[in-house]
Chain A
């Protein structure tokens, strides 16, 4: 009992995991960091290989794996975004090639490629649905937070109860409905349902409880502002931090979604990035230029990764607020 007191006084802030027996402080320190570095490696290795392979030519890839970046990245990217093009490294030295890159023809042919089209389609759907989702989830949370009405508790409980139900269970009825509404090959069934997002609602409601005082809304009312205006000009600005975190989550969720778009979109021109990736897998894979395949996977992952590098702190910090407390 008394042995441990000495180390307790040396390290007053230490909570758990004090090395009272066995391993020394230094050994433990090294072990912890080694394990953490191992898991960092485990998370990043695959993407490192992907980005290396995206810069290698088909011939190089067939020769086996090397862990170093090669010089064919731009070539792969160009051949990927311009359909049926087979430029080589020599083309980049050619001035007519660069003239082409800066001409309107280039943009026109990019538009015909799967990857550019897919990225654009995904961005449109994810952008629109995340904005709708967060705006209307805030509105729903505000209804429960700011007003007292008869079914308030019931509505809140209902939304919580359906929170965890997966959308796939009603997918059958959903596509039948979409077919009856003549909305196949249309983005409406991929964007509008985002308005009813219980998880986003729950998160925003939690945030509202802690940072949107009723007194403030009351005083705006006394000043004669309308309810809708109070929501838009007073509540929304105060909710900005939580809303931006949720916009990111919602955008990423929609950008990555494969199941629903795959059921709704049949026209090749309208398909989203995850469907294009899936098509890459089911097509005769060995016939493809592997450099291009790797570049396509890399480009579909890259936008989210770049955003994450800048916003990681807010995203990791923001995801825990809605969670259950111990």
Chain B
């Protein structure tokens, strides 16, 4: 940097003022539409401020009461648990499948035909409108939908042509009648997790592939000469080198998971159903926030936002460290 300044001594001030000018649009927009809203969100989290019917209550300063209340009534923790269950159930297959596919794509000895085609296909669901994708799954898995129709037809066909399978079906409680998938907790959460998996495994594969292709091939050659097997090479060389990118994938995916909204919101029709023991089992944190925003419950909504801010800020910091470390290398 100092060398450059020496090279153009007179003009330096005159030109470099433009650095500030070009930064103006970003920072003005950031301050108006993100920073000020964040501050007012934090501000309102300390107030009793909600709407009961047509009457507006507050704003009255109540200190940390919103923060305590939202933890105490159990909603926040329960919805956090829902969100995490659905995220984990989608993320574990996502990272495993992505690692496998990325390892294969980066291995020239496999001679995969149509490598680019496969990569393009598995990445495609990532660009599909999440709300339309969720609506699609809703129509597919509805009681009168095609999945139920395929299921019933198959079962009827099997018991007609292979009657000896009937005891197996009986044992598994499989009956030739439509299943109401969205009335079942595990099916609903499973569908949300599955959709998240489908939408993100291609993206993760491409990211990991870029990391794997960046590994110095002489390392593999050396290991090969020393007689290491494919599995050994993968676990002892590829995986440790990929550690930073794996951490990046886990953290960004976790931040994305906390924001989970479109898919469960539309799949369950804004409800977060099924309701089990008085708990909405597929309600996520952002769905809960959205509910508070709609009912103009600013105090509780603010406290919820601040909790989310703290969690995502800590996670962001880890990603930030990863990104800046790379710059120094």
Q: What is A's interface to B at a CB cutoff of 8 Å?
A: 1, 3-5, 8, 11, 13-21, 28-29, 32-33, 35-36, 39-40, 42-44, 46-47, 49-50, 53, 62, 64-65, 136-137, 139-140, 142-144, 146-149, 151-152, 155, 157, 159-177, 189, 192-193, 195-196, 201-202, 214, 218, 221, 227-228, 231, 252, 255-256, 258-259, 262-263, 273-274, 277-278, 280-282, 285-286, 290, 293-294, 297, 300-301, 304-305, 308, 312-313, 315-316, 319-320, 323-326
Determine whether B77 belongs to the interface, using a CB cutoff of 8 Å to chain A.
no
Contact B153 A64 (CB under 8 A): yes
- The B interface, classified by DSSP as helix, strand, loop or mixed, is helix
CA of A171 to CA of B261, assembled, Å:
14
Cβ–Cβ < 8 Å partners of B309 in chain A: 165, 169
User: Per-residue CB proximity of B115-159 to A under 8 Å, as 1/0?
Assistant: 010111111110111111111111110101010011001000000
Cβ–Cβ < 8 Å partners of B30 in chain A: 162, 196
Which of B83-91, B163-171, B236-244, B274-282 binds A? B236-244
Report how many residues on chain B are interfacial, defined by Cβ distance under 8 Å: 136
Give 5 A-B pairs besides A16-B109, A19-B230, A143-B22 with Cβ atoms closer than 8 angstroms: A18-B224, A65-B146, A171-B37, A231-B22, A316-B123
User: Per-residue CB proximity of B228-272 to A under 8 Å, as 1/0?
Assistant: 011001100110011011001001100100110110011001100
The listed residue with most B CB atoms (<10 A of its CB), out of A13, A47, A166, is A166
User: What are 18 A-B residue pairs whose CB atoms fall within 8 Å in the complex?
Assistant: A46-B137, A142-B22, A144-B19, A164-B315, A166-B255, A168-B289, A170-B305, A177-B37, A193-B29, A277-B131, A281-B134, A281-B266, A286-B144, A293-B139, A297-B135, A297-B136, A312-B120, A323-B207
Return B290 CB to nearest CB of chain A, in Å.
7
Contact A326 B212 (CB under 8 A): yes
Contacts A14-B109, A169-B41 given; indicate if A143 touches B312 (C-beta within 8 A): no
Which residue of chain B has the shortest Cβ distance to A146 in the bound complex? B19
Return B182 CB to nearest CB of chain A, in Å.
11
Contact B20 A149 (CB under 8 A): yes
Determine whether B64 belongs to the interface, using a CB cutoff of 8 Å to chain A.
no
Cβ–Cβ < 8 Å partners of A32 in chain B: 104, 110, 112
Contacts A136-B26, A277-B129 given; indicate if A160 touches B320 (C-beta within 8 A): yes
Which residue of chain A has the shortest Cβ distance to B244 in the bound complex? A324
Shortest beta-carbon contacts, A-B, top 10: A173-B37, A147-B19, A14-B109, A143-B22, A65-B146, A326-B211, A173-B40, A320-B210, A164-B316, A64-B149
Cβ–Cβ < 8 Å partners of A157 in chain B: 324
Determine whether B108 belongs to the interface, using a CB cutoff of 8 Å to chain A.
yes
Contact A16 B234 (CB under 8 A): yes
- The A interface, classified by DSSP as helix, strand, loop or mixed, is helix
Cβ–Cβ < 8 Å partners of B111 in chain A: 29
Cβ–Cβ < 8 Å partners of B20 in chain A: 143, 149, 151
CA of A324 to CA of B242, assembled, Å:
10
Contact B107 A196 (CB under 8 A): no
Number of A-B contacts (CB under 8 A): 366
Contact B227 A325 (CB under 8 A): no
Cβ–Cβ < 8 Å partners of A313 in chain B: 116, 120
Return A324 CB to nearest CB of chain B, in Å.
4
Return B25 CB to nearest CB of chain A, in Å.
5
Cβ–Cβ < 8 Å partners of A189 in chain B: 33
CA of A195 to CA of B20, assembled, Å:
16
Which residue of chain A has the shortest Cβ distance to B121 in the bound complex? A40
CA of A40 to CA of B312, assembled, Å:
33
Which of B89-112 touch A at CB < 8 Å?
97, 100-101, 103-104, 106-112
Cβ–Cβ < 8 Å partners of B320 in chain A: 160-161, 163-164
Cβ–Cβ < 8 Å partners of B210 in chain A: 320, 323, 325
Determine whether B322 belongs to the interface, using a CB cutoff of 8 Å to chain A.
yes
Contacts A140-B26, A170-B34, A278-B131 given; indicate if A305 touches B124 (C-beta within 8 A): yes
CA of A43 to CA of B323, assembled, Å:
31
Cβ–Cβ < 8 Å partners of A20 in chain B: 229-230
CA of A225 to CA of B301, assembled, Å:
52
The listed residue with most A CB atoms (<10 A of its CB), out of B116, B136, B248, B317, is B136
Which one, B11, B132, B139, contacts A300 given CB within 8 A? Answer: B132
Determine whether B293 belongs to the interface, using a CB cutoff of 8 Å to chain A.
yes
Return A136 CB to nearest CB of chain B, in Å.
5
Contact A4 B224 (CB under 8 A): yes
Contact A174 B37 (CB under 8 A): yes
Which one, A35, A140, A221, A255, contacts B23 given CB within 8 A? Answer: A140
